[in-house]
Amino acid sequence: MKPFIFIIIMTTVISGTIIVMTTSHWLMVWVGFEMNLLAIIPILMKKYNPRAMEAATKYFLTQATASMILMMGIIINLLHSGQWTVSKDLNPMASIMMTTALAMKLGLAPFHFWVPEVTQGISMSSGLILLTWQKIAPLSILYQISSTINPSLLLTMSIMSVMIGGWGGLNQTQLRKIMAYSSIAHMGWMTAIMMYNPTMMILNLTIYIIMTLTTFMLFMYNSTTTTLSLSQTWNKTPLITSLILVLMMSLGGLPPLSGFTPKWMIIQELTKNEMIMMPTLLAMTALLNLYFYMRLTYSTALTMFPSNNSMKMKWRFECTKKMTFLPPLIVMSTMMLPLTPMLSILD
C-alpha cells in the first residue's frame, strides 16, 4: 500500500476511535464508529486474496449491524431524555440495546462468531490492529455507561465469553485463531468487572493490549502463522523461544508475571462485592486458556522439533525485520507484577 494512502487511512482509523472516546454527543459516537469501520476495511484487505475479502466482508457486516443497533439505542435515549449528551443516566431500554451493540463490536459471546474467522483471514499486522486498537472504542463507551448497564445481561455475556474463549481455542493450531479466542476470553474478563469497578477494566485492557502486541510482534518476527512453523523457532532465534514461553504464561495469568495482575485485581473487586462463585468460575475456565497457551510453549520452547539441516543454519543470519519497541514491551508484559501497589494512582 502506498505510504501516502496508508497514512490517510490510519489517520482516519485513529481519529475515529478518538472521536468515540472524547465526544459528548451521541451522534458523534456513531460517526466515530463508522469512520473507524470504513477506514479499517482497506487495512483488513491489505493482502488482496479472496480469504481476506471474505474476512473484511464479514467484519463489515457485523460491525455495521452493531452500529445500527447502537443508533437505535441512541434514538431511544433521545426519545426518553430529550437530549443528545453522553451522560450517566441512560434509559434502561437504550442501555440494553447499546450494550448488545457494543458486545457485537467487541466480539463477546454470543456475538463472537466473527472473531476467529475474521482474524484468520487477514494478515498478522492487521490482526494485531483488529484485536487491540479496535477494542478501545467500544470499551470506552461501555466505561461511560457502566453504571446503567443491566447486570444480568452483561454478566451472562462475560461468563459465556470466558467459557467460549476457553473451549473454542482448544482445537486450534492456527495462531491467529488462537489469539482470537484469547481475545474473546479476555473481553469476558474485562466486561465482568465493568459494573463494579470500571477502572480495573482499563487496567485489564492496558495489560492485555501490551501482551497481545508483544505476542503478535514475536509471531511476526518469525513470520509464522501455525503452531508447526512456530515450532521451528529454536532454529532461527533461540532467544525468542524463551520469550514466547514466558509471554504465553503471562497471557495465561500465571503468577509472578504481569498477566496475573488484572486477574488478581478483578477477583479482588468481585469478592469485595460479595460475588464468590463467579470469580471462581471465571478463574477455573481461564485455565482452559492456559492449556492451549502451554501447548504452544510445549511445541516451541520445551521440546525441540525435528528439522532439516538447512533450517538449522538460520540462526546465523541477522534479522532484517524492524521490531520497534519490542524489548520494553517484553519487559512490560512479564515483569510488572511488583508494580501492583502503584494501582492506587488510578483512583
Partner 1 sequence: MLKIIIPTAMLMPMMWLSKPNMIWINSTTYSLLISLVSLSYLNQPGDNSLNSSLLFFSDSLSAPLLVLTTWLLPLMLMASQSHLSKEILARKKLYITMLILLQLLLIMTFTATELIMFYILFEATLIPTLIIITRWGNQTERLNAGLYFLFYTLVGSLPLLVALLYIQNTMGTLNFLIIQYWAKPISTTWSNIFLWLACMMAFMVKMPLYGLHLWLPKAHVEAPIAGSMVLAAVLLKLGGYGMMRITILLNPTTSQMAYPFMMLSLWGMIMTSSICLRQTDLKSLIAYSSVSHMALVIVAVLIQTPWSYMGATALMIAHGLTSSMLFCLANSNYERVHSRTMILARGLQTILPLMAAWWLLASLANLALPPTINLVGELFVVVASFSWSNMTIILMGTNIIITALYSLYMLITTQRGKYTHHIKNINPSFTRENTLMTLHLLPLLLLSLNPKIVLGPIY
- Contact footprint for partner 1 (CB under 8 A): 245, 249, 254-256, 260, 264, 267-268, 271-272, 276, 279-280, 283-284, 287, 290-291, 294, 298, 301-303, 337
Q: How far is the CB of 302 from partner 1 (least distance, A)?
A: 4
Residue with smaller CB distance to partner 1, 27 or 276? 276
Nearer to partner 1, 110 or 238 (CB): 238
The C-alpha atoms of residue 62 and residue 193 are separated, in whole angstroms, by 25
* Shortest spacing between CB 299 and partner 1, in angstroms: 10
Pick the closer one to partner 1 by CB: 151 or 255: 255
Residues in CB range of 168: below 8 A, 6 or more apart: 112, 116, 181, 184
C-beta of 50 vs 306, nearer to partner 1:
306
Residues ≥6 apart with Cβ < 8 Å to 198: 143, 146
Which lies closer to partner 1 via its Cβ, residue 28 or residue 294?
Answer: 294
Q: Give which of 68, 11, 64, 43 is closest to 131, Cα–Cα.
A: 43
Compute the least distance from the CB of residue 301 to partner 1, in Å: 8
CA distance 235 to 232: 6
Q: How far is the CB of 168 from partner 1 (least distance, A)?
A: 19
Cell 518469525 belongs to 222
Q: How far is the CB of 256 from partner 1 (least distance, A)?
A: 4
**Phi, psi (degrees; rounded to nearest 5) at 86:** -75, 110
C-beta of residue 286 within 8 angstroms of C-beta of residue 264: no
| 226 DSSP β-pair partners | 174
